[in-house]
Amino acid sequence: MRGHLLGFAALLTGLVLTSAGSTADQDEPAPEYPRIGAIVPGPFHVLNYNGASQGRYHCLICRYATRPVAAILARLRIDKDDDGLKQLEPDQPLGKLIKALDAINDKHPDAYLGTFAVFVGEKGVGDSEDDQEAVRTKLQTLTKEAGLKQFVFGWDGKTESKAYFGDPKGDGSKGLKWGEPGIRVLLYNNYKIIEQHDFTKDKPLTDKEAAAIAASYAKLVPPPFINRKKPKADN
């Protein structure tokens, strides 16, 4: 009897402490995006190049909802001075990162993970039909050569993703400067940022960093569940 009473008292103490901790967390201001622990800014719709919504505008943030997600937002300037499309070749760090993230996703079909990349364009940054076709062709080649099965690609020609790609001040003081070529990689779960990485022309993505990001994403895979139906591939 004494043991039961002590156990019940310990349970009550734990509940009180947990409740107090939750209240304290609620009183603290949320971290400012894109800091660790911040909530992703919100939905935005992009033209899906592949997947279930191929050829239509669809929100990939909404599609993957509270799942563990690896998201890439890339402004790849497409001109003779800075051919961003070269970064999408399978032997380049960005191409390797995409392949590695897709492999993790495909290896754990019951985990319901999310992996996608959105390419951002505006005037002078790949906004023409020819530029979009060049990106689409490059992605088709990457998908085929890398054997991608789950990764989804989107095009944001309306720059709805500006809140994601920029920083709170928009001046590059916290990573990327809006309007300049660059890549932002976000790992988030239940809409909360777990990791955030920015890469620019002066600080490009490397093979080592790509491997480290993929390893971090693998740690977000939840424990396996039994008797779940394997989801269909997005490609």
**What mean pLDDT comes out for the span 187-205?**
93
**What mean pLDDT comes out for the span 123-148?**
77
- What pTM does this model have? 0.79
**CA distance linking residue 114 with residue 231, whole number of Å:** 12
pLDDT digits (tens, 9 = 90+) for 158-181: 888 888 876 655 454 556 777 778
Please report the pLDDT score of residue 30 as a whole number: 77
Q: Are 125 and 88 in contact (CB under 8 A)?
A: no
Helix axes 93-107, 207-218, angle to 10 degrees: 20
Pairwise pLDDT comparison (87 vs 185), residue with the higher score = 185
- Domain 34-218 homologous superfamily, CATH: Glutaredoxin (3.40.30.10)
Find all residues with CB under 8 Å of 88, minimum gap 6, and list them. Answer: 76, 94, 95, 98, 135, 138, 139, 142
Q: Are 128 and 82 in contact (CB under 8 A)?
A: no
Backbone angles phi, psi at 99, to 5 degrees: -65, -45
pLDDT reading at 154 higher than 80: yes
Please report the pLDDT score of residue 4 as a whole number: 42
Give which of 36, 28, 76, 74 is closest to 184, Cα–Cα: 74
Query: For tokens 């790849």, what's the residue?
Result: 76
pLDDT reading at 93 higher than 90: yes
Find all residues with CB under 8 Å of 112, minimum gap 6, and list them. Answer: 67, 231
